[in-house]
Amino acid sequence: MKKIQIAVDGPASSGKSTVAKIVAQDLGLIYLDTGAMYRAAAAVALRNKTGLADDIISVITDNPISFKNTKKGQLVFLGDEDVTSLIRTNEVTNNVSWVAAISEIREFLVAEQQRIAAEGNIIMDGRDIGTVVLPEADLKIFLVASVDERAERRFKENQLKGIPTDLETLKFEIAERDRKDSTREVSPLKQAQDAILLDSTGMSINDVVQFIETKAKEL
Ligand code: DC
C-alpha cells in the first residue's frame, strides 16, 4: 500500500512543529522534526568549533541523530546524549542558519530524512520538505504567519519555560532567520508549486490542525 506523506514547510516559528505533532498523533503518523536535525548539526559545529562539513558529518555518523517519543514529548539524541534542550538554546538557534546552508550537510541530512520517510506514513516539517525531501508528498502545506505574531508566540513559549526574552529582539531574530533561510543558495525556503498556502495569523492551533486533517482525510 502507498505510504502517506505530508510535508509542512514554512518560516521560523510559524507553528509547523506544534501542529505537525498533533496531526501525527491524531492520524497515527510518524512525526519528523527536520529542524531538530539541523539544530543538532549546529550544536556539533559549535561544540567542536568547526565549520567543516566533513568534521560535522563524521561526528553525526559516529553519533547518529535519533528521536524518542516519551510522555514528556519527543526527545532528540545525538548518539547516547540527550540534546533536546541544548538544540533550543539561543546559541544554537542563532547559528543554525549557516550550518543549514552547507550543501554537504543538507545532502547528508536529506538522505537520512528520506530513509526515515520510507519507514511508514509520515508528517515532516521543515523548509524544503515539499520541494526537495518529499517532492511526491501527498499533501503539502506552506504555513506562514506575520513576524509580529510569530515573535509573540515564541515570547509566550519562552515565558512559560522561564527563558528571559526581549520581544523586539525576537522580532529581529525571526526576520533575520527568514531572510537567511529564504536567500541561501541551497534549497532555500520556498513554497512548492503544489503546496497549499495557509496563513495562520489570527488562527488557533486547533484551526490549523483541523484544516490539515480535513485535507489529509480527503487523500
Ligand atoms: O524549524 P527550526 O526553527 O527548528 O529549524 C532550524 C533551522 O534549520 C532553520 O533556521 C532552518 C533550518 N532548516 C532547514 O534549512 N531545512 C529544514 N528542512 C529544516 C530546518
Mean pLDDT over 128-148 rounds to: 97
- 219 Cβ neighbours under 8 A, 6+ residues apart: 4, 138, 139
The pLDDT tens digits of the residues spanning 44-72 come to: 999 999 999 999 999 999 999 999 999 88
Does the beta carbon of 10 lie inside 6 Å of ligand 1? no
1 alpha carbon – ligand 1 mean position (Å):
31
Q: Measuring from atom 6 of ligand 1, which residue has the nearest CA?
A: 35
- pTM over 0.85? The answer is yes
Nearest to 94 by CA among 203, 183, 176, 194: 176
Residue minimizing CA distance to atom 15 of ligand 1: 100
Provide the pairing of β-strand 122-126 with 5-9: parallel
The three cell numbers of residue 147 are 513576524
> Largest alpha-carbon pair distance within the chain?
49
Rounded to the nearest angstrom, the distance between the alpha carbon of 34 and the centre of ligand 1 is: 7
The per-residue pLDDT for range 185-217, each reduced to its tens digit, is 888 899 999 999 999 999 999 999 999 999 999
